């Protein structure tokens, strides 16, 4: 059950039992010595803290320019879009962190700040960290490696077959947890999620290129083939594989020319 609260310039949506977050000074918590800071950038801050034995994650979106403020005011803040993205994933049986709250503050209708707050995903790892630790930094069997890659390919196939497009579906935005020799994956960074009746081919390619340029740097050619075959499930895997490599090379070249970060 979801509740809605509004007071002055501040408003929020809450999972039942987490309305207390509305009265918390989340910026003060960020500077608390008991808080663990995950990311502290101009655009976003990510941190987590414990309350009543529960670990809670906060993502603070900073509308760092007047254009970003206007965009958030008209189209909704990234925190609200993340909240809606989590709801959509739940409807599609795709896993993510449980959303606890989203809070916005506006002045004269113009967005000034927003927060997206979730539960933690216990015993999970960032997918690329898990892969490097278990399949690169120490001996592992080919069958174990392929089982992981096929499970990841199934995640991508399920997401796309259900008409979900995530605009930044790279390894750092996918958490993995091992349960009874199987893998459970959780999507993060939900503000760019959109639903399609049928996801455009170009967007499927974009997601596969994003993964190839991140986790794919750790894979051998045969590993990439195993992933693409599992994703396709048909005879088109060679054509798709070549296209992904070509598109990845094009993105790499563009970023080198513009001296952009990965």
What is the CATH T-level fold of the domain 2-119, as seen in this structure?
Phosphorylase Kinase; domain 1 (3.30.200)
Where in the chain do CATH 3.30.200 domains reside? 2-119
What is the CATH T-level fold of the domain 125-258, as seen in this structure?
Transferase(Phosphotransferase); domain 1 (1.10.510)
Task: Of 69-78, 122-131, 160-169, give the lowest mean pLDDT range.
Answer: 69-78
Between residues 232 and 86, the one the model is more confident about: 86
Q: Is the pLDDT of residue 229 over 80?
A: yes
CB neighbour class for 148 (10 Å; exposed up to 12, middle 13-18, buried from 19): buried
Most confidently modeled of 46-60, 109-123, 201-215? Answer: 46-60
For residue 182, what are its two tokens? 């199987």
Predicted confidence at residue 233, as pLDDT, reads 74
For residue 105, what are its two tokens? 């503050």
Q: Is the pLDDT of residue 87 over 90?
A: yes
Do the Cβ atoms of 144 and 88 come closer than 8 Å?
no
For residue 73, the number of C-alpha atoms closer than 13 Å in the C-beta half-sphere is 15
Give mean pLDDT, residues 206-219: 91
Task: Of 31-35, 131-135, 196-200, 254-258, give the lowest mean pLDDT range.
Answer: 254-258
> Would you tell me the crossing angle of helices 201-212 and 142-161 to the nearest 10 degrees?
150
Q: Is the pLDDT of residue 65 over 70?
A: no
Between residues 109 and 194, the one the model is more confident about: 194
pLDDT, one tens digit per residue, over 154-185 is: 999 999 999 999 999 999 999 999 998 899 99
Where in the chain do CATH 1.10.510.10 domains reside? 125-258
Percent of the chain with pLDDT over 90: 65
List Cβ neighbours of 180 (8 Å cut-off, separation of 6 or more): none
Residue 213, SS3 per DSSP: coil
Do the Cβ atoms of 28 and 14 come closer than 8 Å?
no
Give mean pLDDT, residues 202-228: 90
Between residues 90 and 105, the one the model is more confident about: 90
Most confidently modeled of 5-9, 65-69, 84-88, 203-207? Answer: 84-88
Q: Would you place residue 253 in the very low, low, confident or very high pLDDT band (cuts 50, 70, 90)? A: low
Give mean pLDDT, residues 77-85: 94
- Rounded to 5°, the CA angle 48-148-199 comes to 80
Between residues 148 and 67, the one the model is more confident about: 148
Q: Whole-angstrom Cα distance, residue 215 to residue 184?
A: 17
Q: Is the pLDDT of residue 71 over 70?
A: no
């Amino acid at each position: 059950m979801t509740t809605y609260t509004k007071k002055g310039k501040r408003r929020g949506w809450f999972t039942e039992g987490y309305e207390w977050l509305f009265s918390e000074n989340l910026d003060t918590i960020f500077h608390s010595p008991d808080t663990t800071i995950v990311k502290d950038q101009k655009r976003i801050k990510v941190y987590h803290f414990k309350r009543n034995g529960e670990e809670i994650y906060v993502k603070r979106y900073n509308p760092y320019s007047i254009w970003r403020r206007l965009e958030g005011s008209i189209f909704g803040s990234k925190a609200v879009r993340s909240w809606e993205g989590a709801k959509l994933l739940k409807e599609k049986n795709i896993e993510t962190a449980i959303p606890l709250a989203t809070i916005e503050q506006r002045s004269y209708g113009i967005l000034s700040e927003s927060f997206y707050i979730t539960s933690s995903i216990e015993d999970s790892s960032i997918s690329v960290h898990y892969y490097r630790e278990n399949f690169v930094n120490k001996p592992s069997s080919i069958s174990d490696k392929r089982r992981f890659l096929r499970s990841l390919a199934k995640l991508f196939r399920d997401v796309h077959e259900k008409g979900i497009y995530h605009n930044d579906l790279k390894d750092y935005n996918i958490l993995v947890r091992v349960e009874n020799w199987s893998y459970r994956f959780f999507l993060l960074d939900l503000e760019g999620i959109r639903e399609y009746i049928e996801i455009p081919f170009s967007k499927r390619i974009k997601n596969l290129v994003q993964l190839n340029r991140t986790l794919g740097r750790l894979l051998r050619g045969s590993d990439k083939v195993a992933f693409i075959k599992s994703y396709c499930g048909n005879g088109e895997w060679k054509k798709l594989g070549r296209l992904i490599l070509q598109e990845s090379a094009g993105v790499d070249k563009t970023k080198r020319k513009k001296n952009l970060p990965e």
